[in-house]
Structure 1
């Protein structure tokens, strides 16, 4: 038979036995036997003896007698169960393991140190729990649900997470974590929950002062915490500070303490150790202030940097615009200068050309015939409105007239042509080789000088 397949009621027997709840364990063990095979215990129930053990002893003889009766009571109860109860109710292997666990817990609590017994108890419980691991959050939610269903809505506000997550959350609030380890089958659990944990005054103080977490030691998360805290008695309440590797036990109350006593312990713990949280909170506030200050400084620096970059961009853009305008102005000036130079050069060339033409025409000009028969008097009108008269032989070609007109200082034109007004006739090209007589210009004529529109 594998321990991982032990029925739930049998595993509960082991947990009660290893937790030291012998009366409950024996009752559960005894209840598994068939009705016909049960034997009444030869001595008073272990619960009665456990209650007596908590009362003050009058004499050492009475204490010794009580311990003897308690030992005989439990052993007598176990021995009074027939072998068939083991085989039919639990099975042979479970019966042997169960009796061994109960005997170790019963005797070990009396002859072994509490720390040693706690390790033994943890090892036995680990065997029973190993194959039934439950996630911390699921275990917390189950505890919260069952606690509320059994004891009502007036109770500490349990966190629905594992205890480690609860300590982290409490530390983030700069509060202590109020912890309650719930032993569901312990004889004092029900009374403690109803009269102490659900006391309105205690509940108001706990909920307003601490973050709260409760766990059923039947589940791995709470069980491991009980081992870490070296819990030796139930019910058990504690205050934890900080989180993670820094988690510290501030105060603890074991046993069925009243609401007034538990409240006094909690208030004293806050008075003695609350300053640590105040220091932590002050440090955190300073860190947060420094962080926000750095963020604000970084933001201001980034904004200043962005503004400087924008100003630099605008300055560069303005400089580029100015440079572009200067380049355009320089180009326009250069273009204007080049155009002016070209025009000046053109004018100079024109003047030189006119001067050269006038000089050449004057050199080729024949003397004006005076008193000679067969002459023609020609009057020409220049574009500026001036009139000029010159005599030519009637047999002279029109080219001579052309050269004469070209030699006049008043004519400021490179190209021109001659024309008669009536009848309208233009003389140029081939007409220049004909004589004045042939062209009907003898013995006298009037011509107009017209500038060709070449410029």
Structure 2
């Protein structure tokens, strides 16, 4: 685990400031020094510059030389002290009043270190002043250029401060507060974005850089950048304007790229064909530079000159771009028309297919219905022949009923029936009578399968009017209106409707 993980936010902030001042990238050494001084930033920074200053190095070197010379002279001093201790009492009085030559040498030896220490004492304030000045300048430089490296929160805040849109909005807000809302329309974005937009839209780009440290900045902004003449000119010529203050990192980088030396600084940039490459590619190029204060008329005049020199190239590019755009729109419209026509044809084909399928289905159903009708008609004929075959002979004796039928064609038929036959026997006789009358051979006819016969007529009695149902189980004897004789009428039904219903 890194040592940074053990630090709190306050300690991380102190570490950032310490590294910014001392220009140090060694985290462990910086943390160790701050910990040694109990996280006292001033003492830790002072210890670094006191140890590294040239004055302290020279002083330490001189002290080392003095220490070495003193150590070399110490044996001679000890010998002189031994000789003095063994001298007679007579010479002690003389030694007390005048020192020996060795004693004079030992007493004058420390004068050289004393002079060096005095020199160091006199120059010490100048070294401290230089160290403090250098620390302040380094600290300011690191704060402006060095990003945060220990705290993710500080990093996000600094990125937010350096966001191009935020910086552009801040520049515009400060400009309007100082000089009013009448000014050139500054692009609200980064320099690279403005450059790309000018390249894409084939527009001239005017870069305006200013510095608060120059005395001409306020007059230039108040008189030139807020001039209605210049504002209208830039709007009429569709010039893209990007402005920035060099105290911001992006504007400072732009000034370095454009090699600005004097502020206020203006650069006119346009898309030009590069002559350095064989392919002649296009790139954004500075076509004019205006350094120092300039009046609105001067800026307009310079712009007119630039447009006369380079405007034809941009106009040609715009025409080519418009031509390509028109061709693209034409192709798009043609493709759209083709797609719509294809869609309409596909819709027509789909409708035609549906109609063909519906017609085929209707035809198939009609064919099937016709086949069913023909099959039903054939089975009906077979059933009528079957009725002729199974119809019993007319009785001549016994309990019989004599019935007179008036058929639909007006023909009258008289027929005798036994009294115990059901009423359906009357319907069977009327149904089979035309075939019986024709004398057709029906001996080998069988009853058709899957067939239910339906009579196409109704037998009624006129006085009183009575309709006889063939599905009833009554016999002739049980029906008083038919016994022993009766006149009946055969009423024909609508057979076609009945067939359709079936």
TM-score, scaled relative to structure 2: 0.47
241, 248, 254: which is aligned to 1:225? 254
Is residue 191 of structure 2 the alignment partner of residue 163 of structure 1? yes
Deviation of 1:182 after TM superposition, in Å, equals: 0.6
Is residue 332 of structure 2 the alignment partner of residue 295 of structure 1? yes
Change (3 A) 1:313 1:170: same
Residue equivalent to 2:217: 189
For 1:123-157, what per-residue CA distance to the aligned partner results, in whole angstroms no more than 9, with x for missing partners?
A: x9788533477222222222222333333344322
Residue equivalent to 2:30: none
155, 172, 175: which is aligned to 1:144? 172
Give the whole-Å Cα distance in 2 for the aligned partners of 1:410 and 1:186.
131
Q: Which runs of 5+ in 1 are unaligned?
A: 7-81, 99-123, 366-375, 390-405, 415-425, 429-445
Q: Which runs of 5+ in 2 are unaligned?
A: 1-16, 23-122, 148-157, 273-281, 406-411, 417-428, 443-474, 478-482, 491-502
Give the whole-Å Cα distance in 1 for the aligned partners of 2:351 and 2:21.
81
Is residue 131 of structure 2 the alignment partner of residue 94 of structure 1? no
Give the whole-Å Cα distance in 2 for the aligned partners of 1:387 and 1:200.
126
Residue equivalent to 2:308: 271
3-state DSSP of counterpart to 2:346: helix
Change (3 A) 1:316 1:298: same
Higher deviation after alignment, 319-328 or 290-299: 290-299
339, 342, 345: which is aligned to 1:308? 345
Give the whole-Å Cα distance in 1 for the aligned partners of 2:134 and 2:398.
164
Give the whole-Å Cα distance in 2 for the aligned partners of 1:87 and 1:318.
104
Higher relative contact order (CA 8 A, sep 6+): 1
8 Å contact from structure 1 (residues 167, 242) kept in 2? no
Give the whole-Å Cα distance in 1 for the aligned partners of 2:203 and 2:434.
117
8 Å contact from structure 2 (residues 20, 138) kept in 1? no
Residue equivalent to 2:361: 324
Give the whole-Å Cα distance in 1 for the aligned partners of 2:230 and 2:316.
26
Deviation of 1:87 after TM superposition, in Å, equals: 5.2
Residue equivalent to 2:267: 238
Deviation of 1:93 after TM superposition, in Å, equals: 2.9
Change (3 A) 1:448 1:280: same
Give the whole-Å Cα distance in 1 for the aligned partners of 2:126 and 2:177.
35
Give the whole-Å Cα distance in 1 for the aligned partners of 2:215 and 2:413.
148
For 1:242-262, what per-residue CA distance to the aligned partner results, in whole angstroms no more than 9, with x for missing partners?
A: 59x932212211233444333
Is residue 212 of structure 2 the alignment partner of residue 212 of structure 1? no
Residue equivalent to 2:145: 129
Q: How many residues align?
A: 289
Residue equivalent to 2:10: none
Deviation of 1:216 after TM superposition, in Å, equals: 0.7
Q: CA RMSD in A?
A: 4.7
8 Å contact from structure 2 (residues 267, 289) kept in 1? yes
Residue equivalent to 1:70: none
8 Å contact from structure 2 (residues 205, 268) kept in 1? yes
